[in-house]
Amino acid sequence: MLSEIIITSAEEGLTLGEVLKRRGFSRRLTVKLKHTEGGITRQGVLLRTVDRVACGDRVRLCCPEAGLPAQTAEISVPVLYEDGAVAVFDKPPDMPVHPSLKHHGDTLGNCFAAMYPGLTFRPVNRLDKDTSGCVLTAKSQFAAAALQGRFEKEYLALCCGHPKGGIINAPIAREEHSLIKRCVRDDGKAAQTRFEVIAETEKYSLCRVMPVTGRTHQIRVHFAYIGCPLAGDELYGGSLEDMSRQALHCTRLSFISPEAGAVTVCSPEPGFVSLVRTADI
């Protein structure tokens, strides 16, 4: 896979290794580039990671793709945005992101493989099987490294009850004797979730949710912790009366594309919004 980075004025005089580290390239990927013939060049000349770079330098990076390609399948998922570096999919509920023992041909990874033969599937953000909405995928190792930890997500969540909005600050850990379920526990990893209530009924509240951290099941665990589990979320105590899956939808993604710069992508509102009164979301 071939990519090119352009040195900025803020990177003037740094070593290439320092630039790659600042841009999120892992040590493993940098070592792989160094050991690939023609892996790092500037104007066709081999460039070392200890060499200093100047503003405007165009550094070409090339290394073979790693990892097994996802299986292909005749499934289709809408693409909300695409450029040469990334693609954002509008994942439906009841679709895993990755293939697994129980899901061989019905995942987003399968769809990606069918659309982009030969490319390794690299989701930058991941959603639970029954969570719908925006999934950002990188088309190369370089794009994945540049995007890691450099994007913002916004969700719509329908919860049971009537929370007041604000910040939920509670550490999350894996529940003992469970491979899947998480819980709030003092020895867990720090986790913060910001949210505001934008519509209500007697039973439910529709919330705009902005997770500050990205722990597994974070939104689901935090809303259950404050006594307002998501509608349809059986694992964490949500009512199944009107929803058969957790009412959680990634509605907005903002990121810096390595090719196109600042991008914001929105997914159409999910069906569970109809369970509350009309609101300006």
* Range name among 64-68, 81-85, 120-124, 208-212 with the lowest pLDDT average: 64-68
Model pLDDT for residues 221-278, shown as the tens digit of each residue = 999 999 999 999 999 999 999 999 999 999 999 999 998 999 999 999 999 999 996 5
- The mean of the pLDDT values for the chain is 89
CATH topology of domain 2-62: 3.10.290
Question: How confident is the model over 142-184, as pLDDT tens digits?
Answer: 899 889 888 999 999 999 999 999 999 999 999 998 888 999 9
Residue 22: the pLDDT is: 85
Lowest mean pLDDT among 11-25, 123-137, 226-240: 11-25
Mean of pLDDT values over 88-100: 91
Question: Is residue 66 pLDDT above 60, yes or no?
Answer: no
CATH architecture assignment, domain 152-250: 2-Layer Sandwich (3.30)
Catalytic residues: 128
Segments making up each domain of the chain, as ranges: 2-62, 152-250
Tokens at 94, concatenated:
């009841």
Longest dimension (CA), the chain: 68
